[in-house]
Structure formats: C-alpha cells, structure tokens
A = this chain, B = another copy of it.
C-alpha cells in the first residue's frame, strides 16, 4: 500500500525544512481509514497483546521495577506513538536493553523496590522524552548516527550477555548483584550451594523449551503437515504456552509453599497518573544516562522502522520519529511507566500479523488495559523463573558474535571498535561501554582520514587514463609530477598533503609543474585551503608551477573567490589529460613504456 507522501518529503538531499511544530501523521493515515484496514489492525493487535503481556512484566522486573510498571508503559506510549509516529508498524514499549540501562542508571541513586527507585525510572523516562522531543524539533536526529553499526551491535550483544547473566540468580533462586559480567558471574557462582532446586528445574526447563520452540518446533509442525502460516503462529505462541503451563503447575502443585518465587499480586487497574521527580540534582545525575538511553532507543527504533517501512515502499522520517518517541516517553513518565522505545521482536510480529496503520498500536494499548483490568489475577502464580527464561531466550537471540568475524575480515578499524565496545560494556558496564565505543570509532575514523591516500600517477600509454605509478606501467615526465588526492581535504590531513608534495618535489631540480588531480576531493576546508596556498607559495619559490585538474563543480564555485585561485600561477584543467597535453606534450608522443620503478627512481638524483 503505497501512500502519497507530502511533497516536501520528495526531491532534494536536504532534510525537511525547519518546522518547529510537530507534524501529525495520524491525519495522513486516519483520513483513509476503512473497515478492511480496521480488521487487519485489530487482528495484529490481538497477537501483539498476547506477546506483550509476559514481555512487559519481564522487562519491568529486569529494570528492578514492579511487574505492573511494564503494563503501564505499554498503554499511553503506544497511543502517543500512534498519533505522532511516522512508521506504520512500529510497536513501542519497554525493551530489554533500555530496561537494563535504566536499572544501571537508577541503581546508583535509589534502592531497588523503594518509591524513590520507581520515581527515578519515571524521571529518566521524562528526561529522555524531553531530549528526544528537543532533538526532533531541532533536527538533531543525526546525532544518533555517531553510534556506528559495530558499536551498536557490540553494545547490544554485550548487553544481552549481561542481561542473561543477571537472570542467573532468578533461575537459581538466589540473591546475587553486580554491574559487570565478572561481578555477576562471581556473585552467582558463590551462591551455587544455596541453589533452589525446584526453581532451577522450572527455569532450566522453561529456557530449554523456549529454545526448542525457536528452532525445532516449526520444522516439526511443517513436517507433520501443518500449513506454514499456522506453524508460524504456533511457534510464536510458545512463550504463552510456557507461562500458562508453569503458572498452572505452580498453582496446582503448591510450588510457592516449596519456596518458588512467584509474581504475586499485580494491582488491577488503569495506569496511574504520576509525576516524575522535579529534583534538579537528580536531573543532572540522570542526564547522561537519559541521553544514552534516548540515543540507543532511537537507533534501535529507527532501524526497525526503516526495515519494515521499506518492505512496503513506505518511509519513516527520523526527526518525526524523535518527536513520537519523545511524546511516548513523556507519557510513560506521567502514567507510572519506564523508558520505552520501538522493539524489534514485537514490531516484526505486528508487521507480519498484518498491521496496516498505527491504529494497531491503539488497539494493542486497549488490549493491555483490558489485560491489566481482568487478567492480572490469573498471573498470580506465574513463577519468576519463567519470566527469567523468556528474558534469557529473548536477549540471547540479540547476541551476534558473527560481527567480530565479519569486521575482522573487512576492516580492522571496525573490528577494534566492536571489540572495544564489547570489552568495555562487559567489563565497565553499559554506559561506559557506549561512551568507549563511540570514542574509539570516532578516533579511528579521524585517524584514517588524517592519512589520505595520495597517489603519484602517470599516463597509461595510448589512453587518456592516469594510474598510480606503483601499480601500473605508466608514462611520467621529469618535468611534471601529478598527485591524485583520494580524500576530501581538511585540517587533519592538510599537512599530510604538504608533506607529500614536499616529498615529491625534494631533489628534483628538473621539475617545473605539479598537478593536483582533484577528482575525489569533495570539500576543502579553510585549513586545507591555507595549506594549498602555502604549497603554491613554496612551489613558486622553487620555480615550480602548481596546477589543478578535475575540480568538481560545487567545489570550484567556492574556490573561485579565494586568493588561491585568483593568484594561482598555474592553470585549472578540466581533465588530467588536458593538463598533460598542455604542460608536457612530448609525453603524448612517447611510445616507450618505462617500468614505473625505473622512472620513479630518477627522483633520487639530487
């Protein structure tokens, strides 16, 4: 269903103009809403609701909050997203990584289970909402781009391991706390002798069953003749089945009396109206975690949204997504929730189940509300170990070890960024992990661009092409040196160009012309411009003329007004071939191909 886009979304490379008022995508899709779409959305909402109930409870527990907080955070945020969001299928709510980051951030400021702890969670949601909204209004969505794929991938994988490790204690039925992987593993292993065998049995069975459902159930059902669609639904119902079965067993067999921890009373009712804390000291302490949570949530949400939108040739607007996630988090803060974002698994389920518009999110919110009003007593006997099992299976599917291998093969710099993020997240915690990852990837990028590839090129005989003298047999003249610069020039690499020019010129008394072939230069900043002026000045002091060739149009427009071009002794050639034809025509007559090293070594004569 391709939907007409507003004209401004089409055309130029520039981002949408500077609107200060948020758009309301609901007006676009709401207008054409019909019965058919309604049925599709309702069906998708039903499936997502069933999936979301255990997930919401589990992610609230993961954040150290009462289970009902997860349900609260799956009502108002979905409705707000439906109004402001530009994705048609994204499902927002509590997600594993953001819950972990929330727990890490507020764990330092309040005791788990205290009212201050819950209030701090709402405050993070509030701050995160304000930040997302501000970034959206100011078109700062590009900030999230600085979380590179390797860093995000390494971060989410490492966080997944951390989360799984943090669930060991629930699976074992013991107490063990820690912020880092080693802490968690050591703390859990110290408690091995106190392991509650029944709890462990329930937890391990549930985990094993859920893993089997993921990998083994669907092929089995298909082999037994079930239609693919039905097999798919059955496989997705696995978690619900585990919850139903273990809850019934816990009730029937009186497991609570044997020491198994159950979820217990979940208060029935609508999400409460709440207030985040207005304590400015707390705000300043939570500001950095809230920013990191906002960025991670935004990146995760946008990549899911883009993937789903593209499947139907729709598109999402990143700045609008910021606004929508901002309102979602604000609403979570005022309705007793925790930070939320667009989740991968639930959005894919929503999409596959046929959701056509964000109205599906509204229906899901209604479903969750009904569940919190009617269904919570049925969850009284739900074993906590079962929820841990669902968390473990969900997060371990996020762990991608392959990225280490893939980046190692493709780019050592990217590998270094992934590895640094992994190690810092596991060893120092989630916030440090992200900061280290971003720092390392930026440093490596700057390092790379500061050492541009600059090739000494010569004419391929009988053609108009120029190639690197070190790779090809080409013609060069002792009177002319051509350097092809394979990078935009800016302050960090301008001096490298100066060095390279000096190197190419030093000890060549017969040299008269130096041509910079600019075909790969997209921009020249003021530093590089000064370097070029310095190069021109030094060369002309040495009796050598600087020329440029193949300067791009937009760059030439800017260079025209500069002292460099106005006072350039040399010329600016449209093509490198024209440069050689004008400066060393004798080279074009030459038919003798000298091997590059031999020609090049003429450089050694003083």
- Which residues of A are at the interface with B, using a C-beta cutoff of 8 A? 2-5, 7, 9-13, 15, 142, 144-151, 302-303, 306-307, 309-316, 318, 406-407, 409-411, 413-414, 441-442, 445-456, 470-471, 486-488, 490-496, 498-500, 502-503, 505-509, 519-520, 522-523, 525-527, 529-531, 534, 537-539, 541-542, 552-554, 558, 561-562, 600, 603-604, 606
Contact = CB atoms under 8 A, between A and B. Distances in A.
Nearest to A534: B307
A23 B287 CA distance: 51
A552 to B, nearest CB: 8
A409 B529 CA distance: 13
B538 A505 contact: no
Given A495-B145, A505-B313, A506-B5, A525 B600 contact: no
Given A13-B454, A307-B538, A411-B558, 20 more contacts: A2-B606, A5-B604, A10-B506, A145-B450, A145-B491, A146-B446, A146-B492, A148-B492, A148-B527, A306-B534, A309-B502, A311-B542, A313-B506, A315-B502, A316-B502, A318-B499, A406-B526, A441-B491, A445-B525, A448-B523
B491 A445 contact: yes
18 contacts: A10-B503, A142-B492, A144-B495, A145-B492, A146-B491, A147-B491, A148-B492, A149-B491, A149-B527, A150-B491, A150-B527, A310-B538, A312-B542, A318-B499, A407-B526, A486-B522, A486-B552, A520-B522
A96 to B, nearest CB: 21
A400 to B, nearest CB: 11
B149 A5 contact: no
A81 B493 CA distance: 26
SS class of chain A's interface: helix, strand, loop or mixed? helix
Contacts of A442: 446
Nearest to A441: B491
A313 B410 contact: no
A147 B433 CA distance: 28
A413 B525 contact: yes
Nearest to A142: B450
B145 A414 contact: no
A490 B3 CA distance: 31
Contacts of A492: 142, 145-146, 148, 445
A487 B554 CA distance: 13
A539 B603 CA distance: 51
Contacts of A530: 149
Contact of A604 (B4, B455, B507, B520): B4
Contact of A487 (B146, B488, B499): B488
Contacts of A500: 13
Contact of A142 (B9, B302, B451): B451
B604 A494 contact: no
Nearest to A302: B495
A437 to B, nearest CB: 11
Contacts of A7: 604
Given A525-B413, A606-B2, A496 B313 contact: no
A318 B527 CA distance: 18
Contact of A310 (B303, B447, B541, B600): B541
A565 B553 CA distance: 31
Contacts of A410: 526, 529, 558, 561-562
A543 B91 CA distance: 26
Contacts of A456: 13
A486 to B, nearest CB: 5
Contacts of A313: 505-509, 542
Contacts of A509: 2, 313
A-B pairs with lowest CB-CB distance, top 6: A148-B491, A310-B538, A414-B526, A149-B527, A315-B502, A315-B506
Contacts of A144: 495
A414 B310 CA distance: 38
A4 B410 CA distance: 40
